[in-house]
Structure 1
C-alpha cells in the first residue's frame, strides 16, 4: 500500500502545482517555505526545470520512473496501491501515451522501476518491494522487455526474481540496476542510515534468493534542532529514501528522499558499496507532492522526477 507521509493527497494540490509552475517560470527552485538547511551541511540551490504536469487520474499514485532508451522523450511509470499491475508510457510533458497490463504477476506494492540493456535487449525491472508494515516474508522483482510500439497492450515477464531480506522484513522503495556487474541494488527506506543490498540480475536458477547487505549510505541529511522542533513528523521523514537510479555511464548512483537528491559518485575501479560510503553531492528537490519517482535521462545529463498524487509536476533536474 502507498505511504502517505505528509503531502495532502488532493486538497490544495492544484493550487500548489500552479504555484510551482509560477515559480519555475520565474526561475525559482524553492517554494519559499522550506526550513533552513541543517547546520554545517552545505546545500546547492534546487535546479528543477518544469517540463510538464501530470493531470491524468490514471497516473495517480505514481511510485516509479525510468526513461525510455527506445523512444525519444518517453518515460516509463508505474503506480502502487490497489491498482492493477500495469506500466504507463508518458511523454516528458506528462501526457499518457499508452498503458501496458503486466500479465502473470501478483501486484502487492510496486515501488520502483529501472531500465537497462542486457545482451542487446532493453528491459524494464519492476520492483514489488514495498512493505510499510514490515510484514512481507518474500518480495519480487519482475523483468519485462521494453515495448517497441507505444499502444495499449499486454506484456509478460521475461523472468522474475523472488527474494527475502537476510534479517527479517523491512520497507524498501528504491531499486537500481547495474547491468555490467549483473547487479540489482536495493536501498532500505526507514533504517538509519539507509542500507544498501545487492541481488544478481539474472539468477541461474529459479529459487528464493537472500539479498546481500553490502553497505550503508553516508551523508544522508539529518534535520537541525529548529526544524525538528517546528515540524517533527516532516523532519523525521525528510531523509527516508524513496527512489534510486544508476546513471547510464555507471559512474553515479542517484538517490531520492522525500526532500533531497543525493548523488554518489563511484570511485574509479570501485563498487557501489564504495560509492555510498563516500560523501554525496546533496541538494534539495524542487516542490513535489510526495517525492517518489526518479530516473536519469538517456544521455545521463539530467534526471526526471515526479511525485504521487494528481496533479503532479514533472521536473528535469540538472545535477
Structure 2
C-alpha cells in the first residue's frame, strides 16, 4: 500500500485541544482525553503508514521515521535505551528512580518482550544504558547516576551480560563501578562506552557548557573511583531572547543533556538534549576531549514527550530515540 503523510502528533493534540475549547465542545475534563486520543491516533497512524509503505532499514540520511509506539504502562518512565548486540531488532530499556531494578527487552515497534530483574544492586536513579562487546561477550552498562538535587556523594555503574534468550529472568552484574565526581555533586543522565579505550564517558546534564568525564571500564579492584574531567562540550544551541522571555522554563531546559551513545565504529558521539540531537565526529587520532571541543552537527529532534533515551542501532546506520511518558513514539533517526 502507498504510504500516507504522517501528521505531526503535537499538532494533532493541539488541534484536539482547540476543538475542545470551541463553543459546545466537551467539558474541560474531557478535552484532555480527546487530545490524548488524537495524539495516540496520529502516532499509531504513523506506525501503520511506515508498515504499509513497505519500507525497510533506516530512514534516508538526515531524516527520521516512526519505528513504533510505547503503549505498555510499564514503559511509562523510560530514561535509557540501548540496541542489543546479541538479539536482532531488540532494544534494552530501563526506567528511572522510584521503580524496581529491572530492564525491559522491547522490539523496534515498541512492544515489551520481557522484563529482567537485576539482583544484588540498589536502584537510586538509573538514567542511561550502553551496549558494548568485550572479549566475545555482549554487555550492558547501566548508569545509576541521576542526581536532581545534587546530593549524592557516590554513584554506581553496573555491567550485566546480555542474556542468551529474550524471556523474563533474573540477572546479576558481572561487575560494578562505584565512583565520585572530582569536585562536588552534579546530575548526569548521559553515559557511553568507548570499548577501544576501555573507557566510560559521562556528560553532566545541567551545567553550561556541559562537562565530559571519563572512568576506566574495568578498574583494578573495588576501590572508589574518581571521574576524570576531559573537557567541555561546544556548540550546545542557546535559547534566544524571545524564548527566554516567553517561556523561561523551556529556555532553561532545552539544552540540558539527557542521553549519549558512541557509534559502533567509534567515530561519532551522539548526544541528546530535550530538543536537539548533536553529533560530534572524531578523527582517528583525536581524543574525545578534542572531538567535543569542535562544532557538532545539530538537528532538531522529532516530537517526543520529554526526550530522555537514545542509542545507536547495532549496525551504526541510525539511532533510536524515545521519551519518558506513554504514549511515546519510538523513532529511528538517520544521522
Q: TM-score, normalised by structure 1?
A: 0.88
1:16 counterpart = 2:39 = yes
Q: Partner residue of 2:225?
A: 209
Q: CA deviation at 1:225?
A: 1.1
Q: Where does residue 270 of structure 1 map in the other structure?
A: 286
Matched with 1:33 is: none
State the match for 1:118 in structure 2: 134
Q: Note the aligned Cα RMSD (angstroms).
A: 1.7
- Give 5+ residue unaligned stretches, structure 1: 1-9, 28-44
| Shift, 1:226, TM fit | 1.6
**Secondary structure of the corresponding residue to residue 180 of structure 1:** helix
Q: Which has the larger radius of gyration?
A: 2
Contact 1:197 1:215 (C-alpha < 8 Å) held by counterparts? yes
Q: CA offset at residue 48 of structure 1?
A: 2.0
Q: Report if aligned partners of 2:46, 2:66 keep a CA contact under 8 Å in 1.
A: no
Q: Is the 8 A contact 2:47 2:67 kept in 1?
A: no
Q: Does 1:179 align with 2:199?
A: no
Contact 1:17 1:313 in 2 (8 A): no
Please tell me whether the aligned partners of residues 85 and 133 of structure 2 are also in contact (alpha carbons under 8 angstroms). Answer: no
**Segment drifting more, 47-56 vs 299-308:** 47-56
- Displacement of 1:60 in angstroms is 1.1
Distance 1:23 1:117, change over 3 A: closer
Paired with 1:154 and 1:224, the residues of 2 have a C-alpha distance of: 48
Which residue of 2 is the match for residue 96 of structure 1?
A: 112
Matched, 1:290 2:313: no
- 2:176 corresponds in structure 1 to 160
**Conserved? CA contact 1:122–1:146, under 8 Å:** yes
Q: 1:16 to 1:168 in 2, by over 3 A?
A: same
Partner of 2:98: 82
Counterpart of 1:41 in structure 2 is: none
- Kindly tell me the number of residue pairs found equivalent between the two proteins: 293
Matches within 5 A, 1:1-319: 12-20=35-43, 47-319=63-335
Q: Residues 99 and 221 from structure 1, CA distance in 2 versus in 1: closer, same or farther, beyond 3 angstroms? A: same
- Decide whether the 8 Å contact of 1:245 with 1:294 is kept in 2: yes
1:46·1:285 contact (CA, 8 Å) conserved in 2?
no
Supply the distance in 2 between the matched residues of 1:228 and 1:135 (Cα, whole angstroms): 28
Quick one: distance in 1 between partners of 2:268 and 2:177? 25
Q: Find the residue that maps to 1:184 and give its secondary structure.
A: strand
Structure ranking higher in helix proportion: 2
1:48-98 superposed Cα distances (whole Å, 9 cap, x missing partner): 200111110111100000001111110000001211000000000000001
For residue 257 of structure 1, report the CA deviation from its aligned partner: 0.2
